[in-house]
Structure 1
Amino acid sequence: MWRITTRSEKPLADKHENLAQKQLWPTQLMRNVTAEQGDEIAGVTTGYSGVFFEQGGWVNPPQLVNAMLSAANSVNPFKSVFNCDIKQLKKTDSGWFLLTNDEQLGPFSDVIICAGEHSDAFEQTKALPIVGVRGQVSHIEASEQSRKLKTVLCHKGYFTPAYLDHHCMGATFEKNTKSRQVTALDNQLNQEQLLSFYQQSEFASTLGNITSAKAAVRCTFIDHLPMAGQWCEQSDYIMAFANLRLGKRYQYEQLNKPQQGLHIFTGFGARALCSAPLSAEHLVSCLNNEPRPLSERVSQAIHPARFIVRDLIRNKI
């Protein structure tokens, strides 16, 4: 499921080369490698020097999710419901209910919305300023030479070692869309991007055909930070913190929380495996009144109310 590997990040400009030479990071985390060292690590000839992430890896997402669910269920058994289209969230005196076209699930003391680019699909969250960034990855047939690859190669995109006799390469970026339609053009762009970096490498020039592809949408926000925390209505924040327009020395009103128990967990973009686990631990710690793993500054930076607070300070609302 999780294959420990190396990873080479190709310097794309002189500034990256200069940064690499300064060695500002622990060598246990990453280290510079020459072209010869990189080729030995990768198992194929790339012709590039680079940065080597010895503890890096790549993962099979479905297997990872299943393993996490299994591990969590072994500690505290729970029921999983899939293929269930939640149409509405309803708050009552007894708790939260999730409504589909056919049934009502609940009540629940807390509901966490982690629906990616669809997190704004509910009446309570329709004001979420989500920015969708579509991406497509392509699966291409391995060759005798490419099967020798032992590490993920990162350039402007990435190229993984063979799995089921195919490599995964990508990914494209298309802003302001939620379309998941696979296109032949994006397959072409992924292959052209790979060849533009490794045009002198035999492993790249001997690859087979692209046989399949997947497209998905990265959920982001304009400040490129995720969102994790208690959800509140903009009108309630404006009422409670109206004096933010006047400065920090003024008193604030008590914040009304009609959506108590409703939380947002989304906006992790293309690197959710790096930030989502820690953010999840932070959110659960808040729910259980436990010590939080994030500082107050970071907690505020990813809070769902951050855009409202900024607009109040800047007198935009």
Structure 2
Amino acid sequence: WQVSLLERHAAVAQEASGNPQGVLYLKLSAHGTALSQLIVSGFGYTRRLLESLQRGSDWDDCGVLQLAFNAKEAERHGQLAAAFPEDLLQWLEQPEAQARAGVGVAHGGLYYPEGGWVHPPALCQAQAMHANIELLSHHEALELRKVADQWQAFDDERLLASAPVVILAGAAEIKRFAQSAELPLKRIRGQITRLPETADSRALATVVCAEGYVAPARLGEHTLGASFDFNSDDLTPTTAEHQGNLAMLEEISSDLLSRLNISEQPLENLEGRAAYRCTSPDYLPIVGPLADLQTFNQTYAALSKDARQVPDLACPWLDGLYVNSGHGSRGLITAPLSGELLAAWLDNEPLPLPRSVAEACHPNRFALRKLIRGK
């Protein structure tokens, strides 16, 4: 495969993937859901990719501690610890959790020994540096047209690239294209706060999460975050959200908050970064081939009357058009393996995930549910 990677910015990883640190955080279910299966598989896949990067500046497997901040969360953590092997996760009582964290924490929690943090731009850049990939920066596709067996990407009337296969991997921005406009993707603004390391904060030994997360320092700076704002379209960092992040840090570790000497600097001097996550209604990513929605609804209209019917009719695919989006705050874990899933479809290879998980992530699932509900 020869790949033309259309990037609207000057370089890759300028949006949410541009944050200095992202966490390999496994939010799992004890019931073997499709999302849980995807997360466990994706975690292993990403961890193998990271081995080729520079530990300490590009990533670190320092472990992740997920605190149980109330009785209900502690019960859920106990169920997870019983459902998964100890080399993936283990329950720690408060004294052991505090010893692992290296700073004071008020609760016990789940510890993921192979988790840690990643510098997302390093991972994106490493993936884009393949010999068969041509990075075309400052190329913003606004429209897709199908001409014969070729998909053509246009910026107004300027032809940017042409190929038989297109993969839309631009988070919620893929809704700008007519072919993918109906996918139920939602943007959620998130702001991180960057905190200078102090001699005392160096004691933080693992990523620690509760409602938010804080990571051990990378190049002299801790990353703290991230806020959730469903309504804002402004990516200018705000003092109010820095304040919210610091409140999350106090819940995680008031000891670490005092070690960082935050009270000695004005809030308006804090530095941060805001970007958009992109999520789907069922929190699973949207990965796979796209169908023509109008023809799909006509072809399978019988399902709106009787969902038990299985019409023996070919799906009206938009041949060569695929999607990889909707990864929410889990993209470090789910996006690379989702790319592998697309590659398997394209090359007619065995899928790297159970078929049931691939189907759960399929773009057609929303159109199908809508038909069955008769909406």
TM-score w.r.t. the length of structure 2 is 0.77
Are 2:82 and 1:29 aligned? no
From 254, 257, 278, give the equivalent of 2:314: 254
How is 1:163-182 mapped onto 2 (pairs within 5 angstroms)?
163-182=218-237
From 141, 150, 160, give the equivalent of 1:95: 150
Structure 1 counterpart SS, 2:319: coil
From 251, 254, 259, give the equivalent of 1:206: 259
**How far apart in 2 are the matches of 1:124 and 1:141?**
45
Do the aligned residues in 2 keep the contact of 1:132 with 1:178 (CA within 8 Å)? no
Q: Can you list the C-alpha shifts for 1:29-63, whole angstroms capped at 9, x where unaligned? A: 11122333223222222243222111111011111
CA shift in 2, pair 1:302/1:179, >3 Å: farther
Q: Can you list the C-alpha shifts for 1:91-139, whole angstroms capped at 9, x where unaligned? A: 1014011112473133201001111121101122222221111111010
How is 1:148-227 mapped onto 2 (pairs within 5 angstroms)?
148-199=203-254, 201=255, 203-207=256-260, 208=262, 209=265, 211-227=270-286
Shift of 1:226: 0.9
Residue identity matched to 1:290: E
Q: Can you list the C-alpha shifts for 1:189-244, whole angstroms capped at 9, x where unaligned? A: 10122123423x1x311324463111111111111111011112221111211111
Seq. identity, %:
29
CA shift in 2, pair 1:176/1:112, >3 Å: farther
CA shift in 2, pair 1:256/1:206, >3 Å: closer
| Aligned counterpart, 2:125 | 66
Shift of 1:15: 2.2
| Aligned counterpart, 2:54 | none
Aligned length: 309
| Aligned counterpart, 1:312 | 371
Shift of 1:294: 2.6
Structure 2 counterpart SS, 1:161: coil
Q: CA RMSD in A?
A: 1.9
Larger Rg belongs to:
1
| Aligned counterpart, 1:238 | 297
Shift of 1:21: 4.0
| Aligned counterpart, 2:45 | none
| Aligned counterpart, 2:328 | 269
5+ residue gaps, structure 2: 1-57
Larger relative contact order (Cα-Cα within 8 Å, sequence gap ≥ 6): 2
| Aligned counterpart, 2:360 | 301
Shift of 1:252: 4.2
Structure 2 counterpart SS, 1:119: helix
Do the aligned residues in 2 keep the contact of 1:178 with 1:217 (CA within 8 Å)? no
From 110, 118, 122, give the equivalent of 1:51: 110
From 162, 165, 182, give the equivalent of 1:107: 162
5+ residue gaps, structure 1: none
Residue identity matched to 1:255: C
CA shift in 2, pair 1:138/1:107, >3 Å: same
**How far apart in 1 are the matches of 2:279 and 2:252?**
28
